[in-house]
Amino acid sequence: MARLEIRGIEFAFGAQRILHGVTLDVSDGECVALLGPSGCGKTTTLRAVAGFVTPTAGDIRVGGRSVLALPPYKRNLGLVFQDFALFPHMTVAENVGYGLRMRGVAREAERAAVADKLRLVRLAGMDGRYPAELSGGQRQRVALARALVIEPYILLLDEPLAALDRKLRDQMQVELKRIQREAGITTIIVTHDQEEALSLADRVAVMFDGRIAEVGAPGSLYQSPRSLGVMDFLGGANLFRGTVMRVDAGLAEVACSEGFALRVSGGEVHLGTEVTVGIRPEHVEILAASAGGTPNTASGKVVEHVYKGAHIDVYLEIGGTVRIASVPAQWTAEHGLPEIGTTLRIAFPARHLVMLDSAT
């Protein structure tokens, strides 16, 4: 295994520029997710690392050495494809051992390594089966074993769970995480599914339009992102535009266009600047009707509520715009379902408010 350095790679397909200078460092043994909407360039970045795409500028270094001049079959990387790409005319054992055969490993050693990896992915005893006889989850694991058995420098996963159904996906997420930890291998996962990225990775890199917008640990990226795009993409977001009226001991008071004031931590801003403030729906609080007009509160009229199982999304019209408050199902058990048309007092606790850089 090794560390990966992606340095300002660019790529254009004909007249269309796909990557605009992507830079990312992945430490030895770390698992990083490339997350973004379709068309953001995450798969292109992965394929550039794998060697199927040649960047028009920039460098890719594995273990300190540039790999750009190397064809895919000389880079020693493990690739798991979205459709698994298991060779239909070979058994599971022959599939997993393919990379070893390409490296001229002796038959006995190959058999031992294959058996070992099949055990790792919990498919021991399936050697003689053909891919057509396996379920989706099993094929996934064979693809993983095949990529891991060659002891690659880096493991690259392209939408690894996209082909699986919901229940299987949850199970495989846990499996995948375990296998990655046990193998201790540097890993990059490409996904459009934020839940997958947040649950599997040590760090998440969010990409928009061929650039990395922000990189961070799942927790901090979710709770306090710096960029507007990331806040909006990861989970729901309530966004307020306003002007900074006062800065006082690290707390900025922002006058929102809807007519109320929000106190946000974010001491670097100057008076009079236009800012965007965000808060996640699950952090919005619904207060008792009697609550007064303290800072960071507003009135909202209920226009809709949507039952989501573990929680309920309440759509509130606040100052002309609809916002969402997510309340746990437990809350409605105690307070009853908010009726459409009623007006409620809403609170936006300062500790959950995030000042966002609207340029990203």
Partner 1 sequence: MPKSDRLYAVTLGGLAWTGVAFLVFPVLFTTVVSFNGGIFIQFPPESFSLRWYENIAKIHRIGPSLAVSFGIALVAGAAATLIGVAAALALVRHRLPFKAGITAFLLSPVTIPIVAIGIALIQFFILIGIEFTWYSVVIGHLVLVIAYPVRTLVASLTLSNPSFEEAAASLGATPWRTFLTVTLPQMKPGLISGFLFAFLISFDNYPISIFLLRGDLTTLPIELFNHISQNLDPTPAAFSTLYMCVVAALIAVAEQRYRIISLSLSH
Partner 2 sequence: MTAGVPGRARKRAPRWLIALALAAPALVFLVVFYVVPLGYMVAESLHPWRGDGGDERIVSIEQYGKVAKGGRTVRAFERTVRIAAIATAASFVVSYPIALLLLGAGRRLRTSLLLVVFVSLASSLLVRNYGWLVTLSDTGPLNRLFITLGIVDAPVRMVYSEGAIIVALVHYTMPFMILPVFASLLRIPASYTEAAQSLGAGPFRALAGIVLPLSIPGIFGGTLLTFAICMSAFVTPLMLGSPSTSMISQVAAEQFLVQLNFPFGSAVIVSLTTATFAIVAAYTLAVRRVFRAQV
CB of 151 to partner 2, least distance (A): 12
Name the token pair of 47.
């394929």
User: Which C-beta is closer to partner 2: that of 150 or that of 346?
Assistant: 150
User: Which C-beta is closer to partner 1: that of 50 or that of 123?
Assistant: 50
User: Which C-beta is closer to partner 1: that of 69 or that of 333?
Assistant: 69
CB of 172 to partner 1, least distance (A): 34
CA dihedral 217, 221, 223, 228 (to 10 degrees): 170
CB of 257 to partner 2, least distance (A): 49
88 binds partner 2 (CB under 8 A): yes
What binding mask, one character per residue, do residues 27-66 give for partner 2 by CB under 8 A, x or -?
-----------------------xxx--------------
Among 16, 38, 64, 73, binds partner 2 (CB under 8 A): 73
User: Which C-beta is closer to partner 1: that of 69 or that of 249?
Assistant: 69
CB of 7 to partner 1, least distance (A): 22
Among 23, 76, 223, 360, binds partner 2 (CB under 8 A): 76
Enumerate residues 6+ apart whose C-beta is below 8 A from 46.
Answer: 34, 156, 158, 188, 190
93 binds partner 2 (CB under 8 A): no
**Are the CB atoms for 299 and 284 separated by under 8 Å?**
no
Task: Report how far residue 28's alpha carbon sits from residue 95's, in angstroms, rounded to the nearest whole number.
Answer: 27
82 binds partner 2 (CB under 8 A): yes
Among 42, 117, 139, 146, binds partner 2 (CB under 8 A): 146
User: Which C-beta is closer to partner 1: that of 71 or that of 293?
Assistant: 71
Task: Report how far residue 230's alpha carbon sits from residue 159's, in angstroms, rounded to the nearest whole number.
Answer: 20
Q: What is the DSSP string of 246-269?
A: EEETTEEEEEETTS-EEEEE-TTP
What binding mask, one character per residue, do residues 105-144 give for partner 2 by CB under 8 A, x or -?
----------------------------------------
Task: Report how far residue 29's alpha carbon sits from residue 281's, in angstroms, rounded to the nearest whole number.
Answer: 34
Residue 70 touches which member of partner 1, partner 2, none, C-beta under 5-8 Å by kind: partner 1
**Are the CB atoms for 16 and 171 separated by under 8 Å?**
no
189 binds partner 2 (CB under 8 A): no
Cross-sheet strand order for the sheet of 4-13: 16-26, 4-13, 57-62, 65-66
Chain contacts with partner 1 (rule: CB under 8 A): 69-71, 74
Task: Name residue 232's amino acid.
Answer: D
User: Which C-beta is closer to partner 2: that of 12 or that of 85?
Assistant: 85
293 phi and psi angles, rounded to 5 deg: -90, 60
**Are the CB atoms for 131 and 95 separated by under 8 Å?**
yes
Task: Report how far residue 317's alpha carbon sits from residue 342's, in angstroms, rounded to the nearest whole number.
Answer: 11
Task: Using the structure block, give the residue that is written with the tokens 């002007």.
Answer: 243
Residue 48 touches which member of partner 2, partner 1, none, C-beta under 5-8 Å by kind: none
Element (H, E) at 173: helix 166-183
71 binds partner 2 (CB under 8 A): yes
Binding site for partner 2 (CB under 8 A): 50-52, 71-79, 81-83, 85, 87-89, 98-99, 102-103, 146-147, 150
